[in-house]
Each structure stands twice: as C-alpha cells, then as structure tokens.
Amino acid sequence: MIRLENLTKTFGPATNPIVAVDNVNLDLPTGEICVLLGPSGCGKTTTMKMINRLIQPTSGKVFIDGKDTSSVNPIELRRSIGYVIQQIGLFPNKTVEDNICIVPDLLGWDRAKSRSRAKELLELVGLQPDLFLRRFPKELSGGQQQRVGVLRALAADPPVMLMDEPFGAIDPINREVIQEEFLKMQKAIRKTIIFVSHDLDEAVKMADKIAIFRSGKLEQFASPDELLARPANSFIENFLGTDRALKRLRIVPVSKAMVPNFVQAARQMPIAELCHRLNASVVPAALVVNGDGIAEAIVDGELIRTAGGTVADHARPVRATVPITADLRQAVSLMFAHDMPVLPCVDEAGKVRGVMTFRSIVDNLASGDEP
C-alpha cells in the first residue's frame, strides 16, 4: 500500500547540503501500522511528511496503492490521507460534529451523509453522539479531544493515515485507554498507518512493523518481535535497552508460550501417585479440573514431596487464571501478584487449555533470540 523508494530529503545549498532523510526504502502492506522510531532529529517526522507532501522530497518516490504521489495534486493528495497530530488541532469555533466533517465537507459530501458518518464514528469510540455532537472542543477533556482528532482523520474513510505522536500529550492512564480503543478500531477498519513516536513501549504495542532511524538512515524495518529478538546492529541494541527481552512480554501471546499438556489430579488421588506423575512432567504443579473443564484447585509439587494423604488435603483454590488471548506481561503480573508459579490459561468459556510456568516463559523468550 505504501512504498518509499530511495526517498531522500536535503536542506541547504546543493554544494553543502544537510541530509535529513537518506535514501530510505520501505514497503508497508495494506492494513498494517508502521511506527517510525528513533532519536530526535533522526528524520522520522520528515519522512512521514514527505508521504503527503507537506515536505517535498529532494529525490526518490512515494507510492500509495501503486500510484506515484508526485503525479497527484498535493491538495487532493492530503484530502485523501488522514492526518493526526499531537496538538490535535481542533477548530475551537466549530462543534465536534463540524470538526469531524471538515474533510467530507471539502470533498462535497452530501450533508446528511457526512453527519451520519460523524455519528457513526463517535459510537465507534464510545462517545455518545447525543451528548457530544453539539459540544465545542473546550467542553471536552484532553482524551476526548484526541479521540475527535482521530475521528476527523477517519471521516472521509481514507485508505492511509499519518499520525504524528498522536497520544504524546495525554496522561499515561488515558493514553493506555485510547491506545486500546484505537487498536480495537483498527481491527475493524484496517487502515494503512504511518505513526511517528518517541516511545518504544508504545511502538511495540501499536505496530505491525517498526522502522528505526538514525541520522536520516533507516537502520532496521521489522516486526516488533523480530526487532526485539534480533536487533540488526549495536546502535539498535543500545536503543532498545537492556530490558528488551522484557518488552517482548507485551507482544508474545499466552497461547504461544503456555504448556498444553499438564497433570490433572482427582481430589481422591493419593499424594504418592501424584508425585510420581509430576516427576515425569515439565509442569511443577497439578490442577484439579471439574467436569466442565474449569480449574478449581492447584497442587504445588514442591510442597508435597514428603507429604501423605490425598490431593484434597493439599489442594489450594485457583486464585487467578489468564485468557489465552492475553500477552505474557499480563500472565507474569498475575503470577507475581498471586504467588502462582503455575497459572491456568483459559479460553473464552473459562475452560483450561494449558498452563503457564516461569520456565515456559523463559524458554519462549530465549527461543526468539535464535538466529
């Protein structure tokens, strides 16, 4: 959908130019989010602005859906691309409805159609149209204004969106909420998005692909998991930080790291029999599972090595479970919070599909580092 071909931007005299973007090549498939990341002054914002020609390239090409953007009128090009900035930029004298409808109005949409679109978009992000359509920006919180800014960029249903640190000015709690809302919305609308950020955690959470820049050059273009597992050079390794393995916890799903085969124990089972079964298992605990597949209790193998009696004498209630759709960060948080070295992993119906252990997490993260 978006292809950058030898894209270059220089400033200053031709005899002694300052190179802001240096021969960048990048190909982003339809429906994916690419986050441009790197230190200040590395060329990421300049690269993004050359896509809608707010900055004219010195050389190279930008293609959108196979079409060379240099052959398109720049005003028409910008109206066909959604654009979201950190400062939001809502018109203070216009209502939420009119702010959202600015581009459809410029494109000559029927008024009833554009206002219907505004209502539909507000519902998409959980803002009740009856309450918000007639409000002015000053009557909105910062998070609500940011939502409206994103909706304005989506109003004309553009195939491409450019986002310049869109959540950077929002407090951490609201930022997390809006990021989640945006990702849910993206699953439904599948826009192709170039997203500039300074925040590595945000990039790992939001991106299908991450492009890391240094001094105008594209150093690495990869999925978040590949980037964190296999940085291309020492600059990227240092940029990602020594805790890059921990950052992968956010992007590895529970379903990938859980152990599907685990020991199940009936309450009347003798402890000696259970110890024998646990010795042959990679999972250091057993679950008591009812007839509906729900984990009711857990028996820690370390605590029963010299014990007698039955499973019922030593079983503890399951204090927490984790959805198989969650990420490893959520799993680790639950394991620490509830002191559970073995955590049941459940489907939407609450049935156990596997278990998470600290060993399975470590093994999964380590396997990603293999070339």
In a shared domain, residues 238 and 133: yes
In a shared domain, residues 224 and 312: no
List the CATH number of the domain containing 226: 3.40.50.300
Could you count the other beta carbons within 10 Å of the beta carbon of residue 330? Answer: 15
The residue out of 250, 272, 294 marking a domain boundary is: 250
| More confident: 221 or 363 | 221
In a shared domain, residues 45 and 116: yes
For 113, counting Cβ atoms within 10 Å of its Cβ (0-12 exposed, 13-18 middle, 19+ buried), the class is: exposed
pLDDT value at 371 more than 50: no
pLDDT value at 118 more than 70: yes
In a shared domain, residues 242 and 306: no
Could you count the other beta carbons within 10 Å of the beta carbon of residue 223? Answer: 14
> What are residue 44's phi and psi, to 5 degrees?
-70, -45
Start-end of H helices in the chain: 44-51, 74-79, 96-100, 102-106, 111-124, 129-132, 142-154, 172-189, 200-206, 224-229, 234-240, 244-247, 254-257, 271-279, 311-314, 328-337, 358-367
Residue type, 353: R
pLDDT in tens, 130-139: 999 999 999 9
169, 142 contact by CB (below 8 A): yes
Supply 12's token pair: 């200053």
pLDDT at 250 (0 to 100) = 87
The residue out of 250, 274, 289 marking a domain boundary is: 250
Q: Which residues pair with 343 in a beta bridge?
A: 356
Q: Which of 25, 35, 9 is nearest to 212 (CA)?
A: 35
Mean pLDDT, rounded, for 316-337 = 94
In a shared domain, residues 231 and 261: no
In a shared domain, residues 27 and 103: yes
Residue type, 287: L
In a shared domain, residues 167 and 263: no
> What are residue 220's phi and psi, to 5 degrees?
-155, 140
Distance from C-alpha of 284 to C-alpha of 169, rounded to nearest angstrom: 46
Residues 6+ apart with CB under 8 A from 245: 228, 365, 369
Residue for token digits 């849910």?
184
For 44, counting Cβ atoms within 10 Å of its Cβ (0-12 exposed, 13-18 middle, 19+ buried), the class is: buried
In a shared domain, residues 23 and 72: yes
Distance from C-alpha of 174 to C-alpha of 151, rounded to nearest angstrom: 17
pLDDT value at 370 more than 60: no
In a shared domain, residues 69 and 155: yes
Distance from C-alpha of 109 to C-alpha of 61, rounded to nearest angstrom: 31
In a shared domain, residues 45 and 107: yes
Q: Which residues pair with 316 in a beta bridge?
A: 298
Whole-prediction pTM: 0.80
Least confident piece of the model among 83-92, 245-254, 354-363: 83-92
pLDDT value at 145 more than 60: yes
- CA dist list (Å): 247 to 169, 182, 251: 23, 20, 8
Q: Which residues pair with 310 in a beta bridge?
A: 270
The residue out of 202, 228, 250 marking a domain boundary is: 250
In a shared domain, residues 243 and 302: no
pLDDT at 240 (0 to 100) = 92
In a shared domain, residues 265 and 147: no
pLDDT in tens, 47-97: 999 999 999 999 999 999 999 999 999 999 998 999 888 767 789 999 999
Parent domain of 6: 2-250
Q: Which residues pair with 295 in a beta bridge?
A: 289
List the CATH number of the domain containing 336: 3.10.580.10
For a pLDDT cut of 90, what percent of the chain falls above it? Answer: 67
pLDDT in tens, 20-54: 999 999 999 999 999 999 998 999 999 999 999 99
Overall number of domains in the chain: 2
